[in-house]
């Protein structure tokens, strides 16, 4: 695309845009009605704050140096054909701005109307020179004389630039699009074509306010996309039959001996939510149908113990239990916990991870096959083909949002057996109820709503990079009272930083802190590239309190449990999603001490005087700082994840992020319930007549669904 060099390409990539398809699906946040272009005199009747497009000729441009600053203020006066005057102000000039503002030339200025002593004014307007062709309206401008899209932008990608790029993407891509919806379906449900839908969603012919859309005034493009989202979803769900079949399983209605033995070792009472989740699982596994349950509860709500206690029933009946964690660190930690809890029983515990030496791995695999090991903790290594179970009764998957949706098919109770193990997944990223029902059908949900008693909420603060010393002082103070701290960075080492020079790395910061700000403390680092043994050693030293401050990448994101740690400092916090930051924050405040989370960012704080203006244009930009502040005010994972959901869409809940897989970008499961029904019926009808989608009118659908199903199964195999 024109104008997209490496820097902008990278920024687009960060926004999830790598292909034309991605770009087409980069939907606007809202629209602005710029169909009417007016003269300055019209503005006397218009209210302040209204978005306006004004046609006027530049009369004068003044540059005013600002005291103590390098940048200059620019003030411009333009006159309309109606003789009225408009003034425009830039509080901060930028390279090439003054040169563009040619005196005597006619421009369109766009922005929010302000009145200065009654006279119309725009601050930081968008503007465009009116050449003969645009003024004669031969060629419609991208930016005015129409309803224009407003996208989520960033410092590097200006609103105008994104809009132009999207406009050209549409020109190129739309003629090449295949409509997945068969004509018949479109006609029956009165849906516009995919071509029109993309054009209309980016550059609508009529203005509409997105926040005022309701079920009975859905714009045609919205109706079409939402229908398609549901339709695709239902289709894949039906075609991927493993998900809807009820699978036979062993039933476990155990004795309570082991359960009581383990429970008695806990230094605390279970919370109400924990008890209930355990009870629900107990009922499920007593049925001869494979359980498929998800336990959702905020970080720190004690899901690990729910998992371990639920395993007792199964172990009591001499079946095996697998506990799968997304990272080695977490698997190791779970392993140690399980081992210590079952120490006084006859249960044999093993750890199976990918990085074990080959011999060791084979030994454990043999032990699993022969039924020597009862409780096996591990990573993806557990679902490799070389792992055969002797009698697998229960699979526990921790932090399931990090795996694919359907790991179930990866586990067999025994080679050759038709029994499936029961399955329970633990997650801190809650799935909205309505989504769970639609998506997973028979999936059961247990929710732990409370945290163990006696925890005080973590205090969270966003600070600028220049205030970093406050963080170090806090760490020193906490360490002096016996506490510990984490520092998290986006990169492992500098060698990764090409193109990301502004990001901090674990290794470089380690050297800097060691020789400077934190010299008097014992600091160490871990990351995914360290040899296993070394990582384990350092984690142990941290657990034992020998290491005061642990520097790390997000490998410690999930599950790690060191209750004595009270400070979590996160650098380049703007690079992380809110839910991810919340997870990280969940590493502290686990004991009885007050926890502090400090988010360090170099993004601009929202300035009070010019909060609504960004540098080039009069439109708001996505401000990382404001986004991060959400964490200062909320400590609820549910709330934060909902906020994230609004920002990013629910695609993540499927764990499958490859392009083309069904996502709900526009659909609202409450508002659009009627469309959901219609789409579901349409998909069911098609599959009834043509289960393999081999009819000619289903060619596009067939191509799409094969791609998605194949990608999904690959995703599972590679984990």
Which residue is associated with the tokens 């639920």? 310
Question: Please, what is the Cα angle at 194 between 188 and 196, to 5 degrees?
Answer: 100
Minimum distance, C-beta of residue 534 to ligand ADP, in the bound complex (Å): 24
Q: Which of Mg ion, ligand ADP, none lies near 297, with the C-beta cut-off 5 to 8 A by kind?
A: ligand ADP
Q: Using the minimum distance from each CB to Mg ion, give the nearer residue, 25 or 542.
A: 542
Q: Does 300 bind Mg ion (CB under 5 A)?
A: no
Q: Which of 334, 320, 314 has the alpha carbon at shortest distance from 379?
A: 334
Tell me how far apart the alpha carbons of residues 419 and 417 are, in angstroms, rounded to a whole number: 5
What secondary structure letter does DSSP report for 405?
S
Q: Which of Mg ion, ligand ADP, none lies near 254, with the C-beta cut-off 5 to 8 A by kind?
A: none
Q: Using the minimum distance from each CB to ligand ADP, give the nearer residue, 271 or 420.
A: 271
Q: Which of ligand ADP, Mg ion, none lies near 257, with the C-beta cut-off 5 to 8 A by kind?
A: none
Tell me how far apart the alpha carbons of residues 345 and 4 are, in angstroms, rounded to a whole number: 63
Question: Among 28, 517, 559, 637, which residue sits at the site for Mg ion (rule: CB under 5 A)?
Answer: 559
Name 83's Cβ contacts closer than 8 Å, sequence gap at least 6.
41
Q: Which of Mg ion, ligand ADP, none lies near 524, with the C-beta cut-off 5 to 8 A by kind?
A: none
Instruction: Single out the segment in contact with Mg ion by CB under 5 A; choices: 189-197, 225-233, 558-566, 702-710.
Output: 558-566
Q: Which of ligand ADP, Mg ion, none lies near 40, with the C-beta cut-off 5 to 8 A by kind?
A: none
Minimum distance, C-beta of residue 557 to ligand ADP, in the bound complex (Å): 11
Question: In the complex, which residues of this chain contact ligand ADP (CB under 6 A)?
Answer: 268-271, 274, 297, 299-305, 428, 452, 559, 561, 563, 586, 590
Residue window 507-546: x/- pattern of binding to Mg ion, with contact defined by CB under 5 A = ----------------------------------------
Strands 51-65 and 72-79: antiparallel
Q: Using the minimum distance from each CB to ligand ADP, give the nearer residue, 238 or 263.
A: 263
Instruction: Single out the segment in contact with Mg ion by CB under 5 A; choices: 190-198, 286-294, 343-351, 556-564.
Output: 556-564
Q: Does 40 bind Mg ion (CB under 5 A)?
A: no
Q: Using the minimum distance from each CB to Mg ion, give the nearer residue, 76 or 330.
A: 330
Tell me how far apart the alpha carbons of residues 3 and 9 are, in angstroms, rounded to a whole number: 9
Q: Which of Mg ion, ligand ADP, none lies near 270, with the C-beta cut-off 5 to 8 A by kind?
A: ligand ADP
Minimum distance, C-beta of residue 377 to ligand ADP, in the bound complex (Å): 14
Minimum distance, C-beta of residue 300 to ligand ADP, in the bound complex (Å): 5
CA distances from 359 to 21, 363, 377, 378 (A): 46, 6, 18, 16
Tell me how far apart the alpha carbons of residues 358 and 338 are, in angstroms, rounded to a whole number: 24
Minimum distance, C-beta of residue 339 to Mg ion, in the bound complex (Å): 17
Is residue 303 helix, strand or coil?
A: helix
Q: Using the minimum distance from each CB to Mg ion, give the nearer residue, 28 or 559.
A: 559
What secondary structure letter does DSSP report for 87?
E
Round the CA-based radius of gyration of the chain to a whole number and report it: 29
- Sheet strand arrangement including 375-378: 349-352, 375-378, 320-324, 392-398, 422-427, 292-297, 444-448
Q: Does 430 bind Mg ion (CB under 5 A)?
A: no
**For 370-488, where are the alpha helices, taking DSSP H only?**
433-440, 468-480
Minimum distance, C-beta of residue 590 to ligand ADP, in the bound complex (Å): 5
**For 370-481, where are the alpha helices, taking DSSP H only?**
433-440, 468-480
Tokens of 521: 């403390």
According to DSSP, the residues that pair with 599 across neighbouring strands are: 462, 570
Minimum distance, C-beta of residue 333 to ligand ADP, in the bound complex (Å): 9
Residue 516: how many CB atoms within 10 A of its CB? 9
Is residue 170 helix, strand or coil?
A: helix
Residue 130: how many CB atoms within 10 A of its CB? 19
User: Residues binding Mg ion: what is the number (CB under 5 A)?
Assistant: 1
Q: Using the minimum distance from each CB to ligand ADP, give the nearer residue, 269 or 544.
A: 269
Q: Using the minimum distance from each CB to Mg ion, give the nearer residue, 23 or 448.
A: 448
Which residue sits closest to ligand ADP, CB atoms considered? 302
Minimum distance, C-beta of residue 307 to ligand ADP, in the bound complex (Å): 8
Minimum distance, C-beta of residue 305 to ligand ADP, in the bound complex (Å): 5
**For 136-269, where are the alpha helices, taking DSSP H only?**
159-173, 183-189, 194-202, 220-239, 257-264
Minimum distance, C-beta of residue 71 to Mg ion, in the bound complex (Å): 49
Q: Which of Mg ion, ligand ADP, none lies near 563, with the C-beta cut-off 5 to 8 A by kind?
A: ligand ADP
Which residue sits closest to Mg ion, CB atoms considered? 559
Q: Using the minimum distance from each CB to ligand ADP, give the nearer residue, 428 or 551.
A: 428
What secondary structure letter does DSSP report for 603?
S
Q: Using the minimum distance from each CB to ligand ADP, give the nearer residue, 423 or 471.
A: 423
Q: Which of Mg ion, ligand ADP, none lies near 248, with the C-beta cut-off 5 to 8 A by kind?
A: none
68: alpha, beta or left? (left if phi > 0; alpha if psi -120 to 50): left
Q: Using the minimum distance from each CB to ligand ADP, give the nearer residue, 452 or 545.
A: 452
Tokens of 364: 């454990």
Minimum distance, C-beta of residue 526 to Mg ion, in the bound complex (Å): 18
Q: Does 219 bind Mg ion (CB under 5 A)?
A: no
Which residue is associated with the tokens 């709900």? 664
Instruction: Single out the segment in contact with Mg ion by CB under 5 A; choices: 173-181, 415-423, 450-458, 559-567.
Output: 559-567
Phi (first) and psi of residue 6, to 5 degrees: -55, -40
Tell me how far apart the alpha carbons of residues 38 and 44 are, in angstroms, rounded to a whole number: 11
* Per-residue three-class SS string for 90-151: ECCCCCCHHHHCCCCCEEEEEEEEEEECCEEEEECCEEEECCHHHHCCCCCCCCCCCEEEEC
Phi (first) and psi of residue 439, to 5 degrees: -75, -50
Contact 600, 629 (CB under 8 A): no
Q: Using the minimum distance from each CB to ligand ADP, give the nearer residue, 564 or 629.
A: 564
CA distances from 277 to 434, 448, 452, 565, 641 (A): 20, 7, 14, 28, 21
Which residue is associated with the tokens 């690959």? 714
Minimum distance, C-beta of residue 560 to Mg ion, in the bound complex (Å): 9
What secondary structure letter does DSSP report for 408?
G
Q: Using the minimum distance from each CB to ligand ADP, give the nearer residue, 279 or 360.
A: 279
Q: Using the minimum distance from each CB to ligand ADP, give the nearer residue, 94 or 268.
A: 268
Q: Using the minimum distance from each CB to ligand ADP, give the nearer residue, 302 or 430.
A: 302
Q: Which of Mg ion, ligand ADP, none lies near 220, with the C-beta cut-off 5 to 8 A by kind?
A: none
| Core vs surface per residue 141-178: b (16+ CB within 10 A) or e | bbbbbbbbbbbbbbeebbbbbbbbbbebbbeebbeebe
Q: Which of Mg ion, ligand ADP, none lies near 94, with the C-beta cut-off 5 to 8 A by kind?
A: none
Is residue 497 helix, strand or coil?
A: coil
Q: Does 182 bind Mg ion (CB under 5 A)?
A: no
Helix then strand then coil, in percent of the chain rounded to 5, is 40, 20, 40
Q: Which of ligand ADP, Mg ion, none lies near 300, with the C-beta cut-off 5 to 8 A by kind?
A: ligand ADP
Restricting to residues 657-696, which ones interact with Mg ion according to CB under 5 A? none
Minimum distance, C-beta of residue 451 to Mg ion, in the bound complex (Å): 13
Minimum distance, C-beta of residue 579 to ligand ADP, in the bound complex (Å): 13
Q: Using the minimum distance from each CB to Mg ion, give the nearer residue, 559 or 637.
A: 559
Binding site for Mg ion (CB under 5 A): 559
């Amino acid at each position: 695309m024109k104008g997209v060099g490496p820097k902008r390409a990278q920024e687009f990539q960060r926004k999830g845009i790598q292909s034309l398809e991605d770009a087409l699906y980069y939907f606007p946040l809202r629209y602005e009605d710029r169909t009417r272009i007016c003269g300055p005199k019209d503005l006397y009747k218009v209210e302040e704050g209204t978005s306006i497009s004004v046609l006027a000729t530049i009369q004068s441009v003044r540059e005013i140096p600002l005291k103590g600053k390098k940048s200059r203020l620019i003030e411009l006066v333009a006159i309309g054909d109606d003789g009225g005057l408009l003034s425009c102000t830039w509080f901060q000039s930028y390279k090439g701005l003054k040169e563009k503002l040619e005196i005597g030339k006619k421009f369109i200025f766009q922005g929010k109307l302000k009145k200065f002593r009654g006279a119309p004014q725009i601050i930081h307007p968008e503007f465009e020179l009116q050449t003969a062709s645009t003024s004669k309206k031969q060629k419609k401008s991208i930016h005015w004389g129409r309803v224009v899209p407003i996208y989520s932008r960033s410092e590097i990608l200006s609103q105008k630039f994104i809009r132009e790029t999207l406009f050209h993407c549409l020109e190129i891509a739309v003629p090449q699009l295949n409509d997945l919806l068969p004509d018949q379906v479109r006609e029956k449900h009165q849906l516009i074509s995919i071509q029109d839908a993309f054009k209309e969603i980016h550059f609508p012919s009529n203005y509409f306010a997105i926040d005022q859309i309701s079920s009975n005034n859905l714009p045609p493009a919205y109706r079409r996309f939402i229908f398609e989202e549901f339709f695709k979803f239902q289709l894949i769900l039906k075609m991927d039959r493993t998900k809807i079949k009820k699978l036979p399983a062993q039933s476990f209605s155990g004795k309570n001996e082991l359960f009581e033995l383990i429970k008695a070792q806990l230094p605390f009472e279970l919370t109400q939510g924990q008890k209930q989740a355990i009870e629900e699982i107990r009922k499920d596994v007593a049925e001869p149908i494979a359980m498929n349950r998800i336990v959702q509860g905020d970080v720190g709500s004690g899901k690990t113990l729910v998992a371990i206690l639920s395993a007792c029933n199964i172990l009591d009946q001499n079946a095996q239990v697998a506990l799968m964690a997304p990272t080695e660190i977490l698997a190791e930690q779970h392993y140690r916990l399980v081992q210590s809890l079952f120490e006084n029983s006859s249960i044999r515990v093993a750890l199976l991870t990918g990085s074990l030496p080959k011999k060791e791995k084979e030994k454990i695999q043999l032990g699993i096959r022969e039924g020597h090991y009862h409780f096996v903790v591990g990573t993806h290594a557990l679902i490799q083909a070389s792992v055969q179970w002797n009698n697998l009764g229960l699979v526990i998957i921790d932090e399931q949002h990090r795996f694919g949706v359907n790991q179930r098919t990866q586990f067999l109770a025994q080679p050759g057996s038709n029994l499936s193990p029961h399955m329970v997944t633990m997650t801190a990223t809650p799935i909205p109820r309505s989504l769970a029902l639609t998506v997973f059908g028979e999936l059961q949900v247990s929710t732990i709503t409370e945290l163990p008693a006696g925890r005080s909420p973590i205090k969270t603060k966003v600070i600028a990079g220049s205030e970093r010393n406050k963080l170090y002082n806090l760490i020193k103070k906490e360490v002096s009272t016996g506490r510990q701290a984490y520092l998290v960075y986006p990169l492992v080492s500098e060698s990764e930083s090409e193109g990301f020079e502004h990001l901090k790395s674990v290794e470089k910061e380690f050297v800097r802190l060691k020789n400077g700000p934190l010299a008097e403390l014992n600091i160490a680092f871990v990351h995914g590239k360290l040899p296993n043994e070394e990582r384990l050693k350092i984690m142990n030293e941290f657990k034992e309190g020998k290491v005061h401050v642990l520097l790390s990448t997000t490998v410690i994101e999930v599950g790690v449990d060191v209750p004595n740690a009270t400070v979590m400092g996160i650098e380049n916090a703007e690079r992380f999603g809110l839910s991810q930051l919340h997870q990280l924050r969940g590493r502290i405040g686990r004991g009885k001490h007050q926890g502090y989370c400090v988010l360090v960012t170099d993004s601009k704080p929202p300035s009070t005087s010019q909060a609504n203006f960004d540098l080039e244009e009069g439109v708001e930009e996505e401000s990382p700082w404001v986004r991060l502040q959400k964490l200062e005010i909320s400590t609820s994972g549910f709330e934060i994840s909902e906020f994230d959901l609004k920002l990013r869409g629910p695609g993540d809940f499927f764990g499958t992020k490859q392009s083309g897989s069904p996502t709900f970008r526009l659909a609202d499961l409450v508002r659009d319930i009627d469309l959901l029904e219609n789409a579901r019926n349409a998909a069911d009808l098609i599959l009834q007549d043509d289960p393999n989608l081999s009819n000619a009118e289903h060619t596009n659908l067939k191509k799409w669904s094969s791609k998605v199903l194949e990608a999904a199964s690959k995703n599972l195999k590679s984990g």
